[in-house]
Structure formats: C-alpha cells, structure tokens
Amino acid sequence: MKRSFNNGTTQKLCSSREFRSGVASCRAVGSKLTVVLLLAVAATGCQTRTTSNSATVTAPPNGIITVKGNQLLRDGELWIPHGVQMIAFVASPDAWTNYDLDKPWFQNAYNHFNNAELDDAQAWGADTVRMMLSQPAADPQSPQYNANFVSQYVVGVQYARSIGLNVIVCVQDETQSGQLNGTNPVPGAATNRVWSEIVPMLKGDNGIIFEMYNEPSLNPPEGTDVNTPAQWQQYDAAMNATIQVIRNAGATNALLADGLWEGRTLQGLLPVTDPQNNVFYAVHPYFYTANDQNGTNWPAYFGDIASQYPVIAGEWSTLTGNVCNSDTSAAAVNFLQYIRSLNIGLVAVGYDYVKTGPDANFGGIVSDYDAYMPDGAGVTTYLNSQTCATANFGPGRIVQSWYLNNAVPTSPM
C-alpha cells in the first residue's frame, strides 16, 4: 500500500497482514528519512523504499519523557500529552476463542492495526498513543503466551516512535484481555514476568512510557469514595515491586501508575518509590456519577494531587452507559478546560474501535471505525464525535480541536 504526498514522494506502508507477520513498514517522508524497523521475526513483503536523498536510521527520534516536580517534560520542556488509546493488543487471537466471539471490536482492532493507522492518529492531532498489551498473552508462563503477538506489539511501538509519537505501553489483565483465572487488584507475579519479557525489547528509548498496570481494582469501602490507608499500602507494595523489576532490567524510562478504584481516584495516594524518581500518575475520570460530570469530584480525586505530582487523564471519554444528559456536552468542555489549566494531559478513548450493540457504553472520539479489512487495502474514515446516548454529543471534535490548536474550545462542537 502506498500513500502519496503533495511533494511527489511516496510512502510504503505495511498492510494489516504484513504487520501481523511481525514486520514494521518503511516510511519515506519528504525525501529525507526512511526508518527501517525489523524485529527478529520472519521478514515478508515490506521493502524499504527510498529516494535519492534518503538515509536509513535505527535510532528513535527525540521525545524523551522525564519527571520534574509536578511537571512532565518532553526533551526538557513542559509536556501536556495529547494522547489516544488503541486496543488492538488487548486480547490475542487465542483469547477471542475463549471470550471475544460476541465482542468483535478487539478482533477487528487487531486485524486492521497497521502503520497507516498510527500515521492517521498522528495527523488527527495525537502526539501519544496508549497501546494496551494483554497480560496473559505476554506472560511466558501463561498458557495463552504468544511470542509472535508480543513481537507484533513491539514492532508497532517501535514504528510509532519512528514517526515521532510517544508511546504508553500498558499491561492489562482483565477478562477482556483473556484472563480466565481471575484478575489481581494490583500488579502481581504475572505482571512482573511480562515486564521482564518486554523491557529488554524496549529499553533504551525513553520516549516510551511504561504504564505498570491498567486500573488497579482496589475499591473504597461500600458507602464511601475514599480508599483506606491499608489499600494504598497494598497498592504501594505491589507497584514498588513492579518498579524494581523494571529498573533491574536496566530501564530508566518514565513510569506511569494508575490510581485506585479502577483508576478513578488518587485521593489518599501513598506515593510509590522509584530509584530514578521518574514516576507520574494517571486517573480515568469518566462521568460515572453526577458529581463526576459536574466537577465536584475533580479536585479531590485528582486535581489537588496534581499540585504535587505529574498527573494525566489516562483514559477519558463521555459514556453512554452512565451519566449522559443535556449537561454532558458543556461538562466535557469544562472538564477539558479544568485539566488543561492544571497541565494535566489526556488519553482520549478510543481511536481504533467503536463499540456497538448492548455493550456500546463508550461515546468515543470516532464514530465509524469498526471495519475489518483482511486485505489491508486501506483504512476507514475517522469521523469525530461518537454520540453520547440521546445527548447527541461526543467529545471527538473538541478533543481534536484542543490537540491541533493547543487550546481547548470554549463551547461544544
């Protein structure tokens, strides 16, 4: 598959099938750069295409992420991530057989994942992609372990970095990621085996962020929205063990720790311990309740702690399955303005899928990206603003406007 540019040059892109073989494509941009990324897997069909002024390089671009005080820095400058989430590697093909037959979006996302999709996410306005990785598929001791699947994931991460995107590598352990034996509320031995497996493949590029565990599920006692000190101690011990695994593997990358209550809150946080002092935190501040939507919960759940530590909204969109009413569109604008005022970046959900049917509970940032293209001939159109129930609103356009113009709109779009 080729893509033409207005300067007359061309770009060779791997199809979905080529990407699934474990080979990253080649990219010639402006007749100046060709990046070749090959993992130690079978090379098929994806050839380097260069122009007379091109050069082959292996080093990733700049985009080094570090923590300083309560700020995230990219190459030493304040950075407020403009991210999108991709679910192509939430579940491996093995998991589809066991779980996903009635939920095709994971399979579809995997089947249409290719270089063009990452290019288009960047053109859409993203500077970061959060790429989920199935813990069962990446744990060498799991019966679902799939080395080729892991290799494909790593090649995708490397390609995203080669075009200048930052990447959040996130380990996910849930039923939807193929876990059939119960999930841990915090990272455990299997999580640490995954990091031992993938860190050697990715370390050395500090434009990659390691998000240690998606949505720790220690929830507050019934009737309250505040986690107990004992729960934060349990969280702290588990996260510190994972940090040690990653650091022992030689990585100095920035680390990302999700809050408790499935990422909803950092209230009561017991900070983790990192010998590199290079950790920041994430919340997933969906509008689960009226107070989540109207802003009452924002300071306590994450706003106040952002004065001490760097924080991002690691997942967010409007939800059709929870609060979605006539106030949602204005609340979404208020939310984005609030986090922007605190230098809190965003990972918007979701870029590579649309849920349909009775489980369609995400009003995401695209409205028609659920196509399955087995021949990899192209990509579907990315439309913004998936509708939030009857409110006739989705956040895609306002998120994209923020990303492209570096300013949050003042009203719904």
Angle 49-6-155 from CA coordinates, rounded to 5°:
40
Residue pair 16/37 in contact (Cβ under 8 Å)? The answer is no
> Which residue is associated with the tokens 């970095």?
161
Instruction: Give CA–CA dist 193/241, Å, rounded.
Output: 12
Domain ranges of the chain: 1-59, 60-405
Going across the sheet that includes 56-57, the strands are: 27-29, 33-35, 56-57
Residue pair 365/350 in contact (Cβ under 8 Å)? The answer is yes
Q: Kindly give the residue spans of alpha helices, DSSP state H, lying in 50-188.
A: 93-98, 105-111, 115-124, 135-138, 147-162
Instruction: Give CA–CA dist 397/343, Å, rounded.
Output: 20
pLDDT tens digits in sequence order for the chain, 413 residues long: 333 222 233 333 454 544 555 544 333 333 233 333 333 333 333 332 222 222 333 445 699 999 999 999 999 999 999 999 999 999 998 887 665 545 677 888 898 899 989 998 999 999 999 999 999 999 999 999 999 999 999 999 999 999 999 999 999 998 888 887 778 999 999 999 999 999 999 999 999 999 999 999 999 999 999 999 999 999 999 999 999 999 999 999 999 999 999 999 999 999 999 999 999 999 999 999 999 999 999 999 999 999 999 999 999 998 777 888 889 889 999 999 999 999 999 999 988 887 655 555 566 787 765 443 333 333 445 556 666 655 567 788 899 999 999 999 999 88
Instruction: Give CA–CA dist 168/83, Å, rounded.
Output: 9
Q: Which CATH number fits domain 60-405: 3.30.2130.30, 3.40.50.11690, 3.20.20.80, 2.70.98.60?
A: 3.20.20.80
Residues 6+ apart with CB under 8 A from 325: 391
Specify the length of the chain in residues. Answer: 413
Long-range Cβ contact pairs of 24-27 (< 8 A, separation 24 or more): 24/115, 24/155, 24/156, 24/158, 24/159, 24/162, 25/114, 25/115, 25/159, 27/115, 27/119, 27/159, 27/162, 27/163
